[in-house]
Every structure is written in C-alpha cells, then in structure tokens.
C-alpha cells in the first residue's frame, strides 16, 4: 500500500509550510482512535487517545476538530464509526484521517473514503506527510484570516500584518490573540461557543477549558489598555461575543 488516497483535492506543494506556527509540535485538537487492537502509539505527539465512543462525543460537542484513526483494514467497526461521525450534523465537518496497514486489501482505502474519511494513508507514513495533511484539513475547517476586518469605530484588524489599528495607530498582536479577536469580530454581535473557539485557536485536545479562558483573559487585558475591553463580552454558559456597535456589558 504505497499510494496516497484522498477524497479532497490533491496536496499542494506549499502545504508543508502552512500553519507552521500553529502546528508546532503537533499542537492541534486531534483525537486518536485505535481500531487495530495493537495499542499502537499515536504518530502525532499531542493528540488525545480515546475509545471510539468517547471520541464521538468529543467531536459532537465541538471540542476537537479532527480525528486520526488507525486500523489493520477497512473493518466494519471502523467504517460504521466513520459514517456515524460524518452523518451527524454536529460532527459532519470533522476532519477524518485514517492510517491503514500496508498489508490491507487494495480496496481498503477506497472503502474508508466511501464511509466518510477525508484521507487514507499507509500506517507508517512519514511525520511530515501527516503534518501536511492535517494542515490542509485544518485550512478547510478553520480558514486562515485574510484581508482586513472592521471591529468598530476607528478599529481595524489586518490579517497580513496581524496588527490591530486603533485611532490610526497600529498594535502588533501575537498569533493566538489575533486569531481569537478575528474569530469573535467576524461573528460580531453573535455568541461564539467555546468549542468553535477551541478549534479556531487550535487549543490542544488535552487542554482543559481553562486554556481558552486564559486566552480570552489575555486578550481582554490587551484591549483594556486601549479602553476597548467592554466590547469582549462573556455570555455565561454559552461562549463569548464581540460588540462592534457599543461598549456595553453582557
């Protein structure tokens, strides 16, 4: 089994460089499910190992954006699980990558793609190939910010430079607060749930919710220095909201 099988467009040459900053040492919210029965270690260093049912619950609640499944072949158990993920509205957009044994039947990869996998690869694929595929799938799930975004009167966020302009003055942002601010402002006036924010920020699957709340706190402190923190509103039990119209309390 030496061929790369995928249901989505071919891998572009520049993908190895995409999301280099966010991927780092595999710091993405990926779940690892072992259907092989071998208890094989996950080839991605920061994925969270779960059983099939627990992984399904995580994908449905939006706390993880992708799953990596390893299997000997396209078993009925694997294919049924892929279909359950893909056919549930709450997890339909999940990125699904399958690793199959080299000795798997020649039609095994095609069977997993029909069941809902995005990509099927040989089990011992090079780490760089796995990273590139995850980067490509992540671009589909959480497209990178492009252009500029108006945040309110005299406030603009620029994607190319990651700069927040307030009253004509630029303020450089680190990648995480920039992505958080962009995600919230792009949905201005609407509540963005914690699951969607974890995906947008690429919060590791192992991280607790406090990781997201800490990121929000840092952004709020940054905005407070410019008297704009009231625009970032906490909607308890639901998520967060950006108010581009006024500086009121949630």
pLDDT digits (tens, 9 = 90+) for 25-54: 333 478 999 999 888 888 877 688 999 999
Domains identified in the chain, total number: 2
User: What CATH number is given to the structural domain containing 204?
Assistant: 1.10.10.10
Asked whether the predicted pLDDT for residue 4 surpasses 80, the reply is no
Q: What is the pLDDT of residue 236?
A: 87
Reported as a single tens digit per residue, the pLDDT across 148-168 is: 889 988 899 998 899 999 988
CB 91 within 8 A of CB 98: no
Asked whether the predicted pLDDT for residue 16 surpasses 80, the reply is no
DSSP β-bridge partners for residue 122: 100
pLDDT bin (cut points 50, 70, 90) of residue 207 is low
Domain boundary among 141, 160, 194: 141
Q: Which domain holds residue 75?
A: 5-141
Q: Which of 36-40, 78-82, 97-101, 115-119 has the lowest mean pLDDT?
A: 36-40
Inside any domain, residue 247 = no
Q: What is the pLDDT of residue 164?
A: 94
Q: What is the pLDDT of residue 205?
A: 55
Domain boundary among 141, 167, 195: 141
Q: Token pair of 120, please?
A: 């099927």
CB 103 within 8 A of CB 2: no
**Cα separation, 133 vs 222, whole angstroms:** 34
Burial 82-94 (b: 16+ CB within 10 A, else e): bebbbeeeebeeb
pLDDT bin (cut points 50, 70, 90) of residue 67 is very high
Let me know if 30 is exposed, middle or buried by CB neighbors in 10 A (0-12, 13-18, 19+).
buried
Residues 136 and 83 in one domain: yes
Domain boundary among 141, 158, 184: 141
Q: Which is nearest to 185 in space by CA: 221, 217, 228, 214?
A: 228
User: Model-level pTM greater than 0.75?
Assistant: no
Residues 6 or more apart whose Cβ sits within 8 Å of residue 235 = 191, 241, 250
How far is CA 39 from each of CA 32, 35, 49, 86, 164, rounded to the nearest angstrom? 11, 9, 10, 25, 47
Inside any domain, residue 177 = yes
DSSP letter assigned to residue 3: -
Q: What is the pLDDT of residue 137?
A: 85
């Amino acid at each position: 089994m030496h061929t790369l099988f995928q249901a989505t467009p071919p891998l572009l040459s520049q993908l190895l460089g995409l999301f280099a900053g966010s991927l780092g040492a595999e710091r993405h919210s990926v779940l690892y499910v072992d259907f092989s029965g071998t208890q094989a270690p996950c080839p991605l260093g920061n994925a969270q190992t779960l059983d099939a049912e627990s992984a399904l619950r995580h994908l449905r609640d939006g706390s993880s954006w992708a799953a990596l499944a390893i299997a000997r072949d396209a078993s009925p158990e694997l294919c049924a699980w892929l279909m359950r993920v893909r056919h549930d509205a709450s997890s339909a957009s999940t990125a699904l990558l399958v690793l199959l044994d080299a000795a798997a039947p020649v039609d095994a990869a095609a069977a997993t793609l029909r069941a809902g996998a995005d990509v099927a690869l040989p089990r011992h694929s090079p780490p760089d190939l796995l990273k590139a595929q995850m980067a490509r799938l992540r671009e589909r799930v959480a497209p990178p910010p492009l252009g500029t975004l108006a945040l309110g009167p005299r406030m603009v966020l620029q994607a190319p430079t990651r700069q927040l302009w307030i009253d004509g003055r630029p303020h450089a942002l680190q990648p995480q607060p920039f992505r958080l601010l962009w995600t919230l402002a792009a949905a201005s006036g609407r509540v963005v749930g914690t699951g969607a924010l974890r995906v947008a920020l690429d919060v590791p699957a192992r991280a607790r919710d406090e990781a997201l709340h800490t990121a929000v706190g840092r952004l709020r402190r940054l905005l407070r220095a410019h008297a704009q923190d009231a625009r970032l509103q906490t909607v308890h039990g639901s998520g967060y909201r950006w108010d581009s119209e006024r500086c009121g309390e949630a």
